[in-house]
Amino acid sequence: MSETQKPDPNEPVLSADQLRRQMLEAQLAEMDREDKLRERKLQELSKFTDDFFHKHVGAQEQSMIRNIVARAVKEGKMEALVYTFPSDFCTDSGRAINNADPDWPQTLQGKAKELYDRFKELAQPQGYRLKAMVVSFPGGVPGDIGFYLNWEPPVS
């Protein structure tokens, strides 16, 4: 049976000043950790933004989309979320998509526009449909946009 360790009565008592200093050091360490985390997130967003606006959809992204669709088919689904991006990457911050404006494709930029154009050229003629939706609302405003690829048979 383990015994509870009792405080040493001969151990000196910390002063109030020392306790406050320990608390301040702990708070500063936590603030430093949060700053480093925030900086890492900003670097990741910067890299993603640069990639989104300055590079083309690559083979890895195309393969990932095919894998997502294949997994959805195995699960008996007729639709899959195949791509997401921040609503701020739309020219109107996602408002047209959020309001189901038929002209929403005109607000796309970067890789989202490229994916939409490929959909129109290659997938739509094969019977696929593409739906864009706001998939998150941080603070009540549009956050991320999701592209859903759908292969349900048309309603007669």
* Any domain includes 11: no
In DSSP terms, which residues pair with 146 in a beta bridge?
A: 84, 133
Tokens of 55: 């590079």
Query: What pLDDT digit, counting tens, does each position of 126-137 carry?
Result: 999 999 999 999
User: Could you give the percent of the chain with pLDDT greater than 90?
Assistant: 83
Q: What is the pTM of this model?
A: 0.75
> What value does the mean pLDDT take over residues 26-30?
95
**Residue 3: per-residue pLDDT:** 62
Q: Which residues contact 94 (CB under 8 A, 6 or more apart)?
A: 87, 88, 107, 134, 142, 145
> What value does the mean pLDDT take over residues 14-22?
90
The dihedral through the CA atoms of 142, 83, 43, 50 has a sign that is: negative
Pairing of strands 144-150, 79-86: antiparallel
pLDDT at 1 over 70: no
* Any domain includes 127: yes
Query: Domain range for residue 139?
Result: 56-150
Mean pLDDT, the chain, as a whole number?
93
Instruction: Count structural domains, the chain.
Output: 1
Query: What pLDDT digit, counting tens, does each position of 78-92 carry?
Result: 999 999 999 999 999
98: enclosing H helix or E strand: helix 95-98
* Any domain includes 33: no
* Any domain includes 24: no
* Any domain includes 78: yes
pLDDT at 4 over 80: no
Query: What pLDDT digit, counting tens, does each position of 41-91 carry?
Result: 999 989 989 999 999 999 999 999 999 999 999 999 999 999 999 999 999
* Any domain includes 14: no
